[in-house]
Amino acid sequence: MEENGKILLLGMDMDELRQLAVDLGMPKFTGGQIAKWLYDRRVTDIAYMTDISLKNRTILQKHCNIGAMKPIECMVSKDGTKKYLFPTHNGKFIETVYIPDRERATLCVSSQVGCKMNCLFCQTGKQGFEGNLTVADILNQVYSLPEADTLTNIVFMGQGEPMDNLDNVMKATKILTADYGWAWSPKRITVSSVGIKNKLKRFLDESECHIAISMHSPIHEQRMQLMPAEKQMTIAEVVDLLKQYDFTHQRRASFEYIVFDGVNDSINHAKEIVRMVEGLECRVNLIRFHAIPDVNLYGASDYKMETLRDYLTKHGVFTTIRASRGQDIMAACGLLSTAAKQHELQ
């Protein structure tokens, strides 16, 4: 990727960095040195790459930029959650959420500016779709995060549908897990999806990262009202696909289930979930709904959520109620949107 006539290093894999070195008249091994400075040490200036000769650093500075961009805004919740506003390389903005929790620290990253999926209950969908993030934009959310060294997990659950930007998401996770990159275990990364035909299968085939499916209703007609993506790939088709893969070891399949009062919180819904996932090693995460403007949906009571959890657990489906984080700064599930910010800052 280029910006202002210069090549962005962030987002390039080892093969690309080695080829870049050769193209610029340097030894091939210089690509490995660049990768070390880029992904292991996260330098912000090519001048810091001190084991590369001054001549070659000068060439790199002429033709390349790191591509890192600091967040321009940070909001801090009373529970310690932080919501960062990052610029993108094409002049847009995205939100990224840092969630510290005792010994864990999770980063919720975005994969698109806005989203095409238009789920009824999600602020990002109301924003509309404004473009895919590049690999550099995705990785910059980690690279330029002030708390990057504390991270234990990354979830692709921010703005956008990861499978709708699959090439860039896959390349970002490849760099995050590669020996020359961040060298993370893929078990520290979870990628979410509503379920996109062909692309979900490709992800399951080519990645070892965890998968989290946005279910929100096990009933076709109701899920279609909540999530238009159900028309293209039904939740039944998603579950059938997952059953073709082995989740009995370290790789995990989970279902995200936002609970709406009087909509999807009945025992009949719980029974259908049990029937649907029978034979699939998985977990269900029940999520509190936070009201958004102009949407006639409300969060279910604690009693309803606990009843759902207890029924599912009793019938062999590992189920948790996810703690809500960052609601006071609009950082909780379904609340991310940069629509107003795009207008304000442009």
**Per-residue buried b or exposed e for 88-107, using 16+ beta carbons within 10 Å of the residue's own CB:** bbeebbbbbbbbbeeeebbb
Phi and psi (nearest 5°) for 285?
Answer: -105, 110
| 95 given a catalytic annotation | yes
Handedness of CA 260, 262, 264, 265 (dihedral sign): positive
**Rounded CA gap, 136 and 343, in Å?**
23
Residues 246, 247, 251, 257: what is their CA dihedral angle, to the nearest 10 degrees? 140
Q: What is the amino acid identity at position 282?
A: C
**Rounded CA gap, 12 and 115, in Å?**
25
Q: Beta strand pairing status for 82-87 and 93-101?
A: antiparallel
Marked catalytic residue, from 64, 95, 119, 161: 95
The residue to which tokens 């997952």 are assigned? 242
Q: Which residue in 260, 312, 305, 303 sits closest to 284, CA to CA?
A: 312
Q: Where are the alpha helices (DSSP H) in 180-315?
A: 199-206, 220-226, 235-242, 267-277, 302-314
| Partner residues linked to 193 by β-bridges | 213
Marked catalytic residue, from 64, 122, 209, 333: 333
Q: HSE, CB side, 13 Å, CA atoms: give it for residue 181.
A: 23
**Per-residue buried b or exposed e for 254-285, using 16+ beta carbons within 10 Å of the residue's own CB:** bbbbbbbeebbbeeebbebbbebbeebbbbbb
Active-site residue list: 95, 333
